[in-house]
């Protein structure tokens, strides 16, 4: 069985080739994302029955059609919104992910982004490195006593809510599928999105990206928010209308934003100008907007690393091996995605 691993570096190749892959399998590794494979690379990978992808890969039907023998897509993350599930269902391609590996890791990072923003830790460090001491300009805000809106209370959002509640905050939450235990334990109170927008001093996003919530944080939503609100996003960049956020940050309506994810983030993260000619015009536009966003003094942007701790990476890799091993043995991955 031929397995193709995209988005890999030397470390990952070493892990997967250290006698961890199931017997009877052959692995081919590419540093590139699946959509960026060259004709020569595709010729080596066309017999793939398994594709192992990371979050940088995009797998629409036109990309997946290049792999006629494909039986399984093994995503090395929780999110699988970049995979055309309808096409997979039509072709009988199974999809697997690694759920739960980063609930603690991402939640802790989200708290870190919020602390950095409201206490101006990073910006004050930058100033002092350049010989500037600006005590008045670096005046922050307490988190204690404030209202925090949490959008999405799955594993990550629930853990974030517990952490931020421990700061002495009032937590309001929205989720189409609420977790009664969180409310019963006094961690949060479920309410509407409009109430979260109206009352929250800080808003943290922990929802998966779907067609229904695309750019849910848009001009209209931001207009409902308190002046001086802070927004943190460690979920998916597609949840925020980048232009609307940029304008709100410039005007001061949004006091600050901590963003680990951006819409159309791949070009910025990979820092590869050669990708531009292959992209649609809107991707080029958003790449420019993202570059402008980075320049704002009230923004902290990190390159999609909220998941990236030693412990979380180990959970991803072991979960991927479990998916591959079970698929080879039984025809079903351990952590199957419902199509």
**DSSP letters of 63-94?**
HHTT-TT--EEEESSS--TTB-HHHHHHHT-E
Query: Is 236 labeled as catalytic in the residue annotation?
Result: yes
Compute the half-sphere exposure of residue 51: CA atoms within 13 Å on the CB side of its CA.
33
Of 206, 265, 313, 315, catalytic: 265
Is residue 304 annotated as a catalytic residue, yes or no? yes
The residue from 236, 264, 313, 315 that is catalytic is 236
Secondary structure (3-state) at 304? coil
Q: In three state form, how does the secondary structure of 152-195 look?
A: CCCHHHHHHHHHHHCCCCEEEEECCCCCHHHHHCCCCEECCHHH
* Catalytic pick among 264, 304, 313, 315: 304
DSSP 104-158: HHHHHHHHHHHHHHHHTHHHHHHHHHTT---TTTT-----TT-EEEEE--SHHHH
Distances (CA, A) of 119 to 114, 123, 256, 297, 314: 8, 9, 11, 13, 32
3-state secondary structure of 36: helix
- Closest Cα to residue 123, out of 248, 267, 275, 255? 255
Examine the residue annotation and report whether 165 is marked as an active-site residue of this protein.
no
Residues 143 and 169: beta-carbon distance below 8 Å: yes
Active site residues: 236, 265, 304
């Amino acid at each position: 069985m031929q397995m193709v691993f995209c988005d890999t570096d030397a470390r990952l190749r070493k892990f997967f080739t250290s006698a961890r892959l199931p017997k009877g399998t052959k692995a081919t590794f590419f540093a590139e994302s699946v959509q960026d494979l060259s004709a020569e690379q595709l010729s080596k990978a066309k017999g793939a029955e398994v594709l192992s992808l990371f979050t940088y890969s995009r797998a629409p039907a036109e990309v997946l059609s290049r792999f006629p023998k494909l039986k399984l897509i093994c995503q090395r993350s929780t999110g699988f919104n970049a995979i055309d599930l309808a096409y997979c269902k039509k072709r009988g391609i199974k999809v697997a992910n690694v759920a739960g590996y980063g609930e603690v890791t991402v939640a802790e990072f989200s708290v870190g982004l919020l602390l950095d923003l409201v206490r101006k830790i990073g910006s004050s460090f930058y100033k002092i490195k350049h010989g500037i001491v600006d005590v008045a300009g670096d005046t922050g805000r307490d988190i204690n006593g404030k209202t925090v809106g949490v959008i999405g209370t799955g594993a990550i959002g629930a853990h974030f809510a517990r952490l931020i509640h421990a700061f002495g905050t009032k937590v309001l939450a929205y989720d189409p599928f609420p977790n009664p235990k969180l409310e019963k334990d006094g961690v949060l109170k479920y309410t509407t999105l409009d109430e979260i927008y109206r009352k929250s001093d800080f808003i943290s996003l922990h929802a998966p990206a779907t067609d229904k919530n695309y750019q849910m944080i848009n001009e209209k939503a931001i207009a409902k928010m308190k002046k001086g609100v802070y927004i943190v996003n460690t979920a998916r960049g597609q949840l925020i209308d980048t232009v609307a956020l940029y304008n709100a940050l410039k005007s001061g309506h949004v006091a600050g934003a901590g963003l680990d994810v951006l819409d159309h983030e791949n070009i910025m993260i990979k820092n590869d100008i050669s990708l531009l000619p292959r992209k649609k015009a809107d991707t080029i536009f958003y790449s420019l907007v993202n570059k402008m966003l980075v320049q704002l003094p009230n923004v902290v942007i990190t390159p999609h690393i909220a998941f990236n701790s030693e412990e979380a990476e180990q959970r991803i890799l072991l979960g991927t091996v479990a998916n591959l091993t079970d698929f080879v043995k039984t025809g079903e991955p351990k952590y199957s995605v419902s199509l």
